[in-house]
Structure 1
């Protein structure tokens, strides 16, 4: 049982800001900015790959509610949504970061390193991805 399972069960205290029968939202104890929240499924799914599609939709719906609350309660000008899947995933329980943003807040360079591939390189990667997506149908 990971710490998020324990939060869901009420065994570990957390600043829960929203909950429904499928997902829970609570404040991150090591936030980037005040109001930085985590939204995760009530049931245990370790990674993004493990989530049923309809559950991801429910999580995103709750994340939207949290982001709107951040906008209205904290005057957030925008929102950053993020998920570390396996690589750098600190808790083995899927969770979506919902981070309130303000112009000039200093959050940049979140996606390093950035490159400038040629159109041929983009096309080659696109072909590979399209082929697999087509197989998934």
Structure 2
């Protein structure tokens, strides 16, 4: 199953990577609902998160946790929120979002459009945290 995420994994489409290992990739959402909105994906193309085998799902959550901990060091927020919706792209993914309240996780609000320089700066800060 090919998706925009498989193209990001292969390097066909550029992304603002914040973390990567042999099984997972984390990068900035290009249509964030708040600054610092990160997507975490498995490199194995699995559509539904609950179809991921148990061991890999545990590693996926551990990887997402490590990215969230990096984000905690960068953003002035109460917590890093996590959500899984899974309808936008047919590839399992976790949204990590710096939040100060539940309204920060409202996917119905207008998406931000940040200049590439700012996206690069945010990605660099998370990577270096």
| TM-score in same-fold range (> 0.5) | yes
2:58 is paired with a residue whose SS is helix
> How many Å apart are 1:30 and its aligned residue?
0.9
Higher RCO structure, 1 or 2 (CA under 8 Å, sep 6+) = 2
* 1:106 match: secondary structure: helix
1:30-109 matches, cutoff 5 A: 30-85=31-86, 89-103=87-101, 106-107=103-104
- Bigger Cα Rg: 1
Aligned residues of 1:39 and 1:97 also touching (Cα < 8 A): yes
Gap regions ≥5 residues in structure 1:
111-137
> Counterpart of 1:127?
none
Q: Does 1:16 align with 2:17?
A: yes
77 and 8 in structure 1: CA distance in 2 versus 1, 3 angstrom threshold: same
Q: How many residues align?
A: 106
> TM-score normalized by structure 1?
0.71
Q: Distance in 2 between matches of 1:80 and 1:28?
A: 14
**Uncovered stretches (5+) of structure 2, i.e. residues with no partner:** 108-129
Q: Could you state the TM-score of these two structures normalised by the residue count of structure 2?
A: 0.75
